[in-house]
């Protein structure tokens, strides 16, 4: 086993500081730092040159190079020349290569703080630019749907079937869990207040109307935003990195029709069905609280729920679910198509897709609620 890395400093009569490197200089081992030499140089004035003695040096890799580069930067600042003739030939060549290729001017991020107004201005510019890109993407999507209605869209039905399976059946477990718990929580919170007035039976009304009208659609939309919207962005982003989308364009195939259209159709078709299923699970969650805690009969709870929920509530919930499905698919596909050409850009695209979808769901929920209030439904 080679000896551990060590360095020794020897000052000669010609005001030359010789750095003797011994042992194994590899990453992952305890290597001396260039700061040690800097501290010793501060205590030894009159050094005009630094030389190296590597006769006792064993194995080395980039750990030695990092040490030498840091030392060279310090010596350059202090205007102390370095004699690298004592270094291994491979290390000298790598150091010369590193010096021959200077660091890009803007390679490192600025360390200074950005002012508040600069940050607000840049965010405003990014908002308007992203809004324009979103409108462009929506326009391309509308054109793709127009081609679908005319029977000229270039997509594979097998792809649509696979996406339908992913968005539908595979999403049932998480939708079941979330919506069941939401219904249970709504019933529990409502029961605490309704008990004060002896009106426990109206827990069925509270849970039924809340789940069927809005909550089931919202929770399903948020679940699909995190589960499916992020997956769409990651899939398309990876294709963008691997230049698969460029290859489709080269072959004359529209990526909007071949990749985006099946995903938009799948979510728009499956979200209403998932909302129906979420309604049932939410009502079952409320029923557990009503029957188990409030001593409400099963038939009594069922009859009260049927009496409270009408077709308008169901229609609003299904319409909201369809809108949320379009928003999730639009956000995921748009961020995936806008993805950069690096691996980190794929993760950023997935995160941005989820955030965009959730914000869109909340905004559309507010808009639908206001419209229903104005229409009196």
Do 166 and 227 lie in one domain? The reply is: yes
CB atoms closer than 10 angstroms to residue 177: 12
Q: Note whether 304 and 188 are same-domain residues.
A: yes
- CB count within 10 Å of CB 222 equals 19
Structure tokens at 80: 């102390």
CB atoms near residue 365 (< 10 Å): 17
Q: Which of 100, 121, 151 is the last residue of a domain?
A: 100
In a domain, 186, yes or no: yes
Residues 265 and 348 in one domain: yes
| Single residue among 34, 66, 100 that ends a domain in this structure | 100
More confident residue, 328 or 109: 328
CATH of the domain at 16: 3.30.750.24
* Same domain membership, residue 227 and residue 338: yes
Residue 1 lies in a domain: no
User: Within this chain, do residues 86 and 219 fall inside the same structural domain, yes or no?
Assistant: no
Say yes or no: 71 and 197 in one domain.
no
Residue 248 has pLDDT above 70, yes or no: yes
The pLDDT score that the predictor gives to residue 279 is: 93
Tell me, what's the pLDDT at 351?
92
Of 55 and 318, the structure prediction assigns the larger pLDDT to 318
In a domain, 196, yes or no: yes
* Whether 241 and 355 share a structural domain: yes
Global confidence as pTM? 0.67
Structural domains of the chain, count = 2
Average pLDDT, the chain: 85
Residue 128 within a domain: no
pLDDT at 223 over 60: yes
In a domain, 358, yes or no: yes
**57, β-bridge pairs:** 23
DSSP state string for 29-69: S-PPPHHHHHHHHHTS----EEEEE-TTEEEE-HHHHHHHH
Q: Are residues 160 and 270 in the same domain?
A: yes
Q: Give the per-residue pLDDT at 101.
A: 64
Domain boundary pick from 68, 100, 132: 100
Q: Which long-range contacts (CB under 8 A, 24 or more apart) does 311-314 make?
A: 312/377, 313/209, 313/212, 313/213, 314/212, 314/279
Domain contains 112: no
Which range, of 40-44, 81-85, 288-292, 371-375, averages the lowest pLDDT?
40-44
On whether both 81 and 173 belong to a single domain, the answer is: no
**Residues 148, 229: one domain?**
yes
Range of the domain at 350: 143-375
Query: For residue 258, is it within any domain?
Result: yes
The answer on 184 and 39 residing in a single domain is no
Judge if 307 and 217 occupy the same domain.
yes
In a domain, 190, yes or no: yes
């Amino acid at each position: 086993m080679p000896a551990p890395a060590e360095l020794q400093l020897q000052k000669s009569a010609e005001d030359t500081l010789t750095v003797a490197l011994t042992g194994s200089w590899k990453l992952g081992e305890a290597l001396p730092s260039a700061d040690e030499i800097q501290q010793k140089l501060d205590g030894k004035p009159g050094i005009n040159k630094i030389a190296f003695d590597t006769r006792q040096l064993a194995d080395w890799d980039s750990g030695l190079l990092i040490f030498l580069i840091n030392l060279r930067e310090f010596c350059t600042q202090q205007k102390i020349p370095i004699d690298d003739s004592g270094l291994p030939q491979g290390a000298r060549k790598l150091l010369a290569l590193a010096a021959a290729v200077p660091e890009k001017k803007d390679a490192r991020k600025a360390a200074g703080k950005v002012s508040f107004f600069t940050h607000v201005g840049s965010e405003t510019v990014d908002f308007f630019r992203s809004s324009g890109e979103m409108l462009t993407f929506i326009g391309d999507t509308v054109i793709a749907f127009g081609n679908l209605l005319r029977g000229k869209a270039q997509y594979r039905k097998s792809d649509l079937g696979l996406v339908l399976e992913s968005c539908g059946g595979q999403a049932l477990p998480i939708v079941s869990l979330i919506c069941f718990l939401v219904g249970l929580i709504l019933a529990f919170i409502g029961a605490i207040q309704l008990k004060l007035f002896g009106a426990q039976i109206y827990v069925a009304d509270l849970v039924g109307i809340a789940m069927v009208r809005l909550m089931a659609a919202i929770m399903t939309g948020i679940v699909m935003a995190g589960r499916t919207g992020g997956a769409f962005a990651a899939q398309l982003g990876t294709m963008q990195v691997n230049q698969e989308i460029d290859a489709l364009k080269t072959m004359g195939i529209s990526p909007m029709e071949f990749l985006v259209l099946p995903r938009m159709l799948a979510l728009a078709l499956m979200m209403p069905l998932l909302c129906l299923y979420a309604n049932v699970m939410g009502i079952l969650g409320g029923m557990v609280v009503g029957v188990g805690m409030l001593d409400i009969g099963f038939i009594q709870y069922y009859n009260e729920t049927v009496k409270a929920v009408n077709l308008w509530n169901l229609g609003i919930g299904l319409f909201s679910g369809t809108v949320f499905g379009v928003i999730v698919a639009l956000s995921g596909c748009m961020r995936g198509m806008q993805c950069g050409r690096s691996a980190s850009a794929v993760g950023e695209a997935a995160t941005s897709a989820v955030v965009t979808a959730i914000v869109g769901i909340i905004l559309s929920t507010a808009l639908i609620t206001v419209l229903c209030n104005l229409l009196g439904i």
